[in-house]
Homo-oligomer: A and B are copies of this chain.
Amino acid sequence: MSATSPQRVSLIGLGTIGMSMAALHLARDNTIVDVFDTRPDFEQYLSKTLPNFLAEPSSASGPSSSVASLISSGRLHIHSSLETACAFATIVQEQGPENLAFKQSIWKKVESLAPVSAHLWTSTSGIAASAQQQEMQDKTRLLVVHPFNPPHIMPLLEIVPAPGTSPERVEFAHEYFSLPGSRHRPVVIRKEVPGFVGNRLAFALLREACHLVQEDVVTANDLDTILMASLGPRWAGNGVFESYQQGGGEGGIRAFLDKLGSTMQEVWDGLGKVNVLGEQGTEWKEKVIQQTDDAYGTLTLEQVREKEARLRDFIRAQTQSYGQ
């Protein structure tokens, strides 16, 4: 079955990522969504929380944001058991705890409950599909679909198959998230590496950021200003390789590497080696946490909403065309 056909998505685990993922799927007219979570007040919680994710602010009062109307129209089904949630799924997507034992156990159960044709996706940020599927009979079905927070707005989905995942299932996931009208941009990652690609890049930068704060080169707040005033907007418009291709002029990235090579190597040789676990190199933690708390405190719901509106504007501007 093609990804363009109507789909029935069973979502397991409706925390913040799960709610946002539900909104992502419900934005497709021909997708039916089944939801299951073990929290006792699940139905109440969903009715209260899901509307925050459903519509863009401008249409927040429209009928699409009403959970009741989604239920009465048959587009959303709330379940109190995994059995009924999975029974008719064409896709089962899990956003449960980041815990290997939980993941292995849930996939073993899902395998016995969902149709054999159903695609199995895990939203993990850290546990590879090949580890999660250890208890499964069929090791061709499961793959990682790693979203970036919040998935109903952020375009990236990292699709990370296990070595044994069937290519057709990888292709299906890629096609599902690439449908016309979607602002989402799925990318297939070719090898299972810790942190996949997006978080590896983010954590590489974060490590140096923590080092620079620890060394008093810059405050956490000033470092954030630097990022927002340069690399953020640059990388919203160009990737890193494209940026340096452009930066090198006619000689492209080769000329850039020749010109900046000695500074670059000096920086690479001196990159900070802070750690987040263990006993050495963790002195930065309290300083960074303190400076971050001082700068930002706890964000209010209004601040989060405003940041989401701005994020939507950046993403809209990415695909805007400019006439001459």
Interface residues of A (CB under 8 A from B): 16, 98, 125-126, 148-149, 154-156, 158, 185, 187-191, 193-195, 197-209, 212, 215-218, 220-242, 244-247, 249-250, 252-254, 257, 259-268, 270-271, 274-278, 285, 288-289, 291-293, 295-296, 298-299, 302, 304-307, 309-311, 313-315, 317-318, 320, 322, 324
**What is the CA–CA distance of A55 and B156 in the complex, to the nearest angstrom?**
34
Contact between B228 and A267, CB atoms less than 8 A apart: no
Among B203, B240, B305, B310, contact of A224 (Cβ-Cβ < 8 Å): B240
Q: Separation in Å of the A110 CB from the closest CB of chain B? A: 24
A188 proximity list for chain B (CB < 8 A): 222
CB pair B239 A228 closer than 8 Å: yes
| Bound-complex Cα distance A224 to B307 (A) | 23
What would 15 A/B residue contacts be, using CB atoms closer than 8 Å?
A: A126-B266, A187-B226, A193-B212, A193-B270, A198-B227, A200-B267, A201-B209, A204-B205, A223-B241, A234-B311, A242-B296, A244-B292, A245-B299, A257-B289, A313-B317
The closest CB in chain B to the CB of A258 belongs to B276
Is A265 touching B261 in the complex (CB atoms < 8 A)? no
Contacts of A125 in B (CB 8 A): 260, 263
Q: Which residues of B contact A215 (CB under 8 A)?
A: 191, 193
Q: Give every chain B residue within 8 A of A232 (Cβ-Cβ).
A: 232-237, 239
Residues of B within 8 A of A322 (CB): 305-306, 309-310
